[in-house]
Structures are given as C-alpha cells and as structure tokens.
Amino acid sequence: MAAGSFLMHAKPGRFSSTMLSWILFATGIGLYFYTAQARHHENPDDRVTPTLAQMVKGITEAAVKPAEDDEPLADNAPLTQRLLASMLWKDTKATARRFVYSLALLVPAVLLGLHMGLFPYAGAFFLRFVLFFDKIVALSLLPILFIAFGIDELSKIMLIVIGVAPTIILDTFNLSRGVPGEQLVKAFTLGARDFDVAYRVVMKQILPRVLNSLRLNLKAVMLFLFAGEMIASTEGLAYRISLLRRHMAMDVIIPYVLWVALLLFVVDLSMRLLNRKLHPWFHEA
C-alpha cells in the first residue's frame, strides 16, 4: 500500500494533499530558525540570520514609522496616519503603481499578437522584428532607457514593457494561429466580418490562455521592476531592500522579501479566480 502511494494512479485525499503541501514550508522555516538560534548562540550580535522577535520588531517599525529621510510624525499621531505615512506603505504604493501601469501597457501587446496571428499583412510586417527584439536582453537596454527617458517613472515602466511585451505578443500570436481554420470559415459563412471573427470568435477562445500567460509572467514583470528600482529610485520595495543591504538590516530585508512574495501570490490568486469566474470551462495549469 505504501509503495502504491507513489504510483501514477494514486489519488491523495484532501487531508493528505494539505499536509504534503505544507511539508516544505515547515521544513524551510524550521531549518532557518534552527540556524538562527545556533548562530545567535555563538554570536548574540549576529545580523545575518535575525530571530523571529527581531524580524517582528523590524517590520513593525517599518509599518508604523516613516523612512529616515521623511519628516517624523508626532508622538500622539493616530494609528491610521502612522500606517499611511510609514516606510512600508510608501514603498508598497510606489511599487504597486509602477506594477499596475506596466500591466496596463501590456494590453496593446495582446492585441498586436492577435492581429499578427489573424491578419497576414500584420504578421509579415511585425513578426520578424518581434522575434529579433525578443532576443535582446532587456536589462542591457537599461542605460539607454535612463539616457532617453531619465531616471523617473517612465524608464522603469518601459523596461518592464520591453522585457515582457515580446513574450506576450508571441504567445498571443501562437494562440491565435492555433485556432482551427474551420471555425473561422464557419464564422465567415454565417456573415461575420473580419473584426467579428477576431474579437468574438478567436479572442474569446484564447483570452483565458492569454490571462494565464500574463499570470505566469508576473515574476518577470516584478524582476524588471526591481532592477529599475534598485539602480535609480528614491522609493519602492526594491529600492528599500537595496538601501537596507548597505546596513545589513536583515531583520527588515527578510520581511520585505516575504511581503513582496505575498503580494505577488495575492495578485496571482486573484487572476486565477478571475479567469475561473470568466471562463469556467478552462482548466489552467
């Protein structure tokens, strides 16, 4: 029976699946705190592996106190004012703003990929250029973007769009080409026009997979955003992590990293739930 649990036909129950999914989390957390305790036993001033109490204190101060370069609040300031003026909220708001702008600018990439896959002249005009541009390492363009657009918001957002848009375009292009031609012919015989076929037949079929592609590229979006913030920024989650690195403030860096992972997980979960709500027939990976 035990050997059968590892075969292809095995189907773990809900309790078993839940327990198995938390094993690696529990192992990693346990190993970290064991290492932290051992290092602090040898050196009480160790700053590489902060204890749980140190991390709680560090993230609490980041969540209720402004950054060092901001004006301090009055001692009797209400909690809401402290949270909205805190270093954590300021950095999260700046990164989230750039993240949302970048995702919004990826919508034209989806439309371009759709037209390239369905309209032969659009495909002939754009495809070879997009294939070549996709091979350019986006981070190598960072100095050019800073020179052309300055070190403000636009250069960081353009870095994300340049780094992720070609992948989204090509993925949408391939999905559009994958729609059976018989469906297009059937739509034309029923009196549909070109744009009716593009948006009411093809787009509706590939949209769940396009949303899934955007969801799977969230990490790439955040990677390029972090690269821009670390090099030239005055606020943002990556900027703060880079700044704290100089002081080896691991008691704040580790919670910041976990906070970023949690935010991305929430966005990923929201997109999966939205996709499931809009397209219940689609079974995503």
pLDDT digits (tens, 9 = 90+) for 149-190: 877 788 888 888 899 999 999 999 999 999 888 888 888 888
- Domain membership of residue 76 (yes or no) is no
34 in the same domain as 135: no
CA torsion sign for 16, 17, 20, 22 is negative
Torsion of CA 129, 132, 134, 140, to 10 degrees: -120
Residues 88 and 45 placed together within one structural domain of the fold: no
The whole domain housing 31 covers 14-49
Residues 123 and 237 in one domain: yes
Could you tell me which of 208, 192, 14 has the C-alpha nearest to residue 110? 208
Contact 207, 216 (CB under 8 A): no
| Total tally of structural domains belonging to the chain | 2
**What pTM did the predictor assign?**
0.85
pLDDT tens-place string over residues 26-78: 999 999 999 999 999 899 888 889 999 999 999 998 888 887 777 777 777 78
End-to-end CA distance of the chain: 29
123 and 39, same domain (yes or no) = no
On whether residue 150 sits in a domain, the answer given is yes
**Virtual torsion, Cα 267, 271, 277, 280, nearest 10 deg:** -140
Q: Residue 3: pLDDT band by 50, 70, 90 thresholds? A: low
Please indicate, yes or no, whether residues 110 and 29 belong to a single structural domain of this protein: no
pLDDT at 1: 47
Instruction: Specify whether the CB–CB gap between 112 and 106 falls below 8 A.
Output: no
What's the sign of the alpha-carbon dihedral 278, 102, 66, 246? positive
pLDDT top residue among 217 and 75: 217
Residues 209 and 96 occupy one common structural domain: yes
- Output the CA torsion sign for 22, 285, 204, 216: positive
Task: State the average pLDDT over residues 88-92.
Answer: 92
pLDDT tens readout for residues 193-203: 888 999 988 99
Q: Which of 54-68, 77-91, 250-264 has the highest mean pLDDT?
A: 250-264
Asked whether residue 32 is assigned to any structural domain, the reply reads yes
Could you report the per-residue pLDDT of 93-137, keeping only the tens digit for each? 999 999 999 999 999 999 999 999 999 999 999 999 999 989 988
Q: Report yes or no on 62 lying in a domain.
A: no
Tell me, yes or no, whether 153 and 90 share the same domain.
yes
Domain co-membership, 212 together with 107: yes
Residue at 72 is within a domain: no
Nearest to 117, CA basis, from 186, 191, 209: 209
Q: How confident is the model at residue 268 (pLDDT cuts 50, 70, 90)?
A: very high
pLDDT attached to residue 2: 55
3-state secondary structure 84-143: HCCHHHHHHHHHHHHHHHHHHHCHHHHHHHHHHHHCHHHHHHHHHHHHHHHCCCHHHHHH
Same domain, yes or no, for 29 and 155?
no
What distance in Å separates the CA atoms of residue 193 and residue 165, rounded to the nearest whole number? 28
Distance CA 251, CA 235 (A): 19
Q: Which two tokens stand for residue 144?
A: 């050019």
Residues 266, 183: one domain?
yes
Q: Is residue 259, in this structure, part of any structural domain at all?
A: yes
**CA distance to 39, 111, 210, 224, per residue, from 213 (Å):** 42, 14, 5, 17
